[in-house]
Structure 1
Amino acid sequence: VSTIFTVWALSYATSDAVGMSRTGMLWVGALANVVALFTIPLWARLSDRIGRRPVFLVGAVGSAVAMPLYLWAISTGSYPLTLILGVLVFGVVYSAANGIWPAFYAEMFPTRVRLSGMAIGTQTGFAIAGFAVAFASQIAGPDGDDWAGVALFAALLCVPPVVAALSARETAQVPTEQLGERHAEVPAKAGASVKA
């Protein structure tokens, strides 16, 4: 989502097919990132209260729904609509997953392999994401104007993280020394403990 938002969408918006200004589109990205500076800590704080999984799922599922709306807004050539949806997609919705993935991923591993486990997983994902723009360009066709195909592609890229999050265990309330253990005890709100 990040790569499609920051690279392909900018290229599409400023292409002859749409004709928006590069400066205007760079402002969309800049303002979305300014909003993200405030929403990321809020999402992270919420994940401490209700759990990592629900917040991550809001970001992943929300991005699958909101990214096509953003690309549609660009296709209309409307700056206000593009700005509003750009800030919503990247500044608010995507920030839910982006704000908590470091904690969520790291907490999947015991201390002994935490750094390696997280590094291998994230760097592999980042390397694959680097090809998203090349795939999006191919999907967009020779004229580069098939935004709907790219929107579907971006939405489909959100499916593996959703499945992974649904199959992951919740770690927000697991004591640090028990992270990564198969049957870690998670303290219940009333003071008793339950199996995670």
Structure 2
Amino acid sequence: MSDRRSTQLRRAVASSFLGSVIEYYDFLLYATASALVFGKVFFTGLDSWVATIASLGTFTTGYLARPLGGLIFGHFGDRVGRKRMLVLTMVLMGAASFLIGLLPAYRQIGAWAPVGLVLLRVLQGVAVGGEWGGAVLMSAEHATSRRGLCAGFTNAGAPCGMLLSTAALTGTAAAVGESAFLAWGWRIPFLLSIALLVTGLFVRLKVEEPPVFQAVKHDLRRPPLLEVLRDRPRALLLGIGTGLAAFVAQATLTTYVLAYGVQVGFTRQTVLNSITISSAFAVAGIIAWSALSDRIGRRPVVLAGACAMAVFSFVLFPLVDSGSGALLVLALVLGQGVVHPMMFGPLAALYTELFSTRSRYTGVSLGYQLASLGGGLAPLLFAQLRNTGAISATITAFCVLAAFCVLSLRETSRQDLNAVEATPEKEGTH
């Protein structure tokens, strides 16, 4: 690899990782706040558990908007380039998060407060829906080897963003106190997103379009969405089925357990500290499992993760119900730091390898973001079920689906991204 290409690869990986950190800092900051704060600030007067469900409902709207963002930015990312769309998604996310930090509470403007919250959450969803696919492609399409590792850094940005968001909330709460935190302190981490935005844009603007995209950008045959739906519907459906379990597990470990842990008696700070610790392990876990998928393949790693998560789902809640802070940390470190990364880490490269370059941004974004609906709906469903046995069984069912889907895909880790162009789905994806 030439020095220029090596430099661009490093910049692409750094840009994708940092962009993912920023996007998920904002997106998951909302998740944490929806479980702990927004019920009291924007849904005043409701029973505490009902307010939590309503707050988690606004969290879900962000996930519902993600496929829309994937379609919009995916289309133009395949038409005019990955880089331009990634700059737009970063600006959109930063602006939406900053405005959430300025949004008046229910006591000040009444019902307009939750309405404004939902609208800004939708903008966040659209932004993150367009961000992930482009960020993954900037790394994967620049890479000439170790594609799983390079693309995996984008996925590692998600728990790193969670780590920063929970640390920001934790630090703010400790600095200003409980009453001040609920009154105005929770806004500080949202307002700080502007500083992250400036840093991210500085890095992202230095990255060039991937060579594999530049080679086909003038060879546009059909609208990207039509090409995906017509030529690779099986790859799209199996990709969605493979990713659903990872998102259901992720939302359980980072959002539902946060609210559940407080409900069963842990302090908010204890649960936040546990999630912060497990998020640090998740960054390392995602990178490690992604790298391993380059050596032994995507399928074995994801399959092992689905099987392990199916078993772990029945261990998670007894550990949380124990009332022990040490066992709570153990549960989240095992779940978020070890088991979940097995399913989640290799997905970045796996999705990239399922679609041709001309429609890859659209295919990757649509598949991943439709799978992400599992993450948006799971906390809302589980908050209403409130039966840990039923929750564990639901997670297991999604893991069985993931196992079936990944076994139905052929191994893609040795796939030449240029070769995907001429390979019809009936020969190339099973």
- Which residue is 2:280 aligned to? 34
Name the CA distance, whole Å, in 2 between partners of 1:42 and 1:118. 22
Alignment of 1:6 with 2:254, yes or no, is: yes
Q: Deviation per CA, 1:79-131: give whole Å up to 9, x if none.
A: 11221121011101101121110111121112222111111111112234311
Give 1:173's match in structure 2, choosing from 394, 397, 414. Answer: 414
Name the CA distance, whole Å, in 1 between partners of 2:285 and 2:376. 25
Name the CA distance, whole Å, in 2 between partners of 1:96 and 1:14. 28
Name the CA distance, whole Å, in 2 between partners of 1:71 and 1:28. 14
Which letter maps to 1:10? L
* Residues 319, 328 of structure 2: 8 Å contact kept: yes
Looking at secondary structure, tell me which structure has more helix per residue: 2
Which letter maps to 1:159? V
Q: TM-score scaled by structure 2?
A: 0.40
Say which is worse superposed, 82-91 or 150-159, in terms of deviation.
150-159
- Which residue is 1:163 aligned to? 404
Q: Of the two structures, which has the highest relative contact order with CA contacts closer than 8 Å and spacing of 6 or more? A: 1
Name the count of aligned residue pairs.
178
Q: Which runs of 5+ in 2 are unaligned?
A: 1-248
Percent identical: 30
* Residues 320, 331 of structure 2: 8 Å contact kept: no
Give 1:71's match in structure 2, choosing from 305, 314, 317. Answer: 317
Which letter maps to 1:155? T
Structure 1 stretches of 4+ with a deviation exceeding 6 A read none
Q: TM-score scaled by structure 1?
A: 0.84
Instruction: Please give the secondary structure, in 2, of the residue aligned with 1:158.
Output: helix
Q: CA deviation at 1:160?
A: 2.0
Give 2:356's match in structure 1, choosing from 110, 125, 145. Answer: 110
Q: Which runs of 5+ in 1 are unaligned?
A: 141-145, 185-195
Q: CA deviation at 1:67?
A: 2.5
What is the 5 A alignment of 1:34-183? 34-140=280-386, 146-179=387-420, 181=423, 182=425, 183=427
Which letter maps to 2:251? T
Instruction: Please give the secondary structure, in 1, of the residue aligned with 2:346.
Output: helix
Say which is worse superposed, 57-66 or 24-33, in terms of deviation.
57-66
Name the CA distance, whole Å, in 1 between partners of 2:374 and 2:293. 27
* Residues 13, 19 of structure 1: 8 Å contact kept: yes
Which letter maps to 1:161? A
For the aligned residues, what is the CA RMSD? Answer: 1.7
Larger Cα-atom Rg:
2
* Residues 70, 85 of structure 1: 8 Å contact kept: yes
Q: CA deviation at 1:31?
A: 0.8
Q: CA deviation at 1:173?
A: 1.2
Q: Deviation per CA, 1:48-85: give whole Å up to 9, x if none.
A: 00001111112222222113211220111121122112
Name the CA distance, whole Å, in 1 between partners of 2:354 and 2:416. 12
- Which residue is 2:271 aligned to? 25
- Which residue is 1:188 aligned to? none
* Residues 75, 147 of structure 1: 8 Å contact kept: no
Change (3 A) 1:25 1:173: same
Instruction: Please give the secondary structure, in 1, of the residue aligned with 2:345.
Output: helix
Name the CA distance, whole Å, in 2 between partners of 1:179 and 1:64. 33
Q: CA deviation at 1:151?
A: 1.5
* Residues 298, 413 of structure 2: 8 Å contact kept: yes
